[in-house]
Amino acid sequence: MLNWNDIIRFANRGTPAPEIQIEKSEEEWKDLLTPEEFRIMRLKGTEPAGSGEYCHAHEPGLYACGCCGTDLFDSSIKFESGTGWPSFTQPVKENAVKYDKDTAYGMVRVEILCNTCDAHLGHVFPDGPAPSGLRYCVNSLSIKHKNGNDNE
């Protein structure tokens, strides 16, 4: 189980390598995504708090990257954080999420990205529930729910 010390180490020294790496040009991503998805996932935007489709969703299944379909989070570790964004305590695998130090807006945070395609997901914070103490704060537009029956 990852903890805050692991996250800081990954942000400073690099995340474990993904199984595959997907690279596309900006134009290729623009062709595949809606303008709002492109703004959030490729330009590191944020959706308004409380506006996302998955803020209060609790259906079983996995949440995959909205760009490349890589599995990122399991619904069993999703929780209500009260922040207005879907929140999770752990990724499905240690190398599913990439961690980058983010110093934008005069603060230091840890940005989370899909480790397969570098899509911006949101940020991770050390104020989540036990046992990990982590809160992966994710834009709904950065993920797609796959239920256990049909994987869509």
* HSE value, Cβ hemisphere, 13 Å, CA-based, for 81: 26
Annotated catalytic, 137? yes
Residue 134 structure tokens: 């982590």
Residue 95 structure tokens: 């190398």
Q: Using CB atoms within 10 Å of the CB of residue 29, give its burial: 0 to 12 exposed, 13 to 18 middle, 19+ buried.
A: middle
CB 32 within 8 A of CB 65: no
Catalytically annotated residue among 65, 67, 117, 137? 137
Q: Where in the sequence numbering do the catalytic residues fall?
A: 137
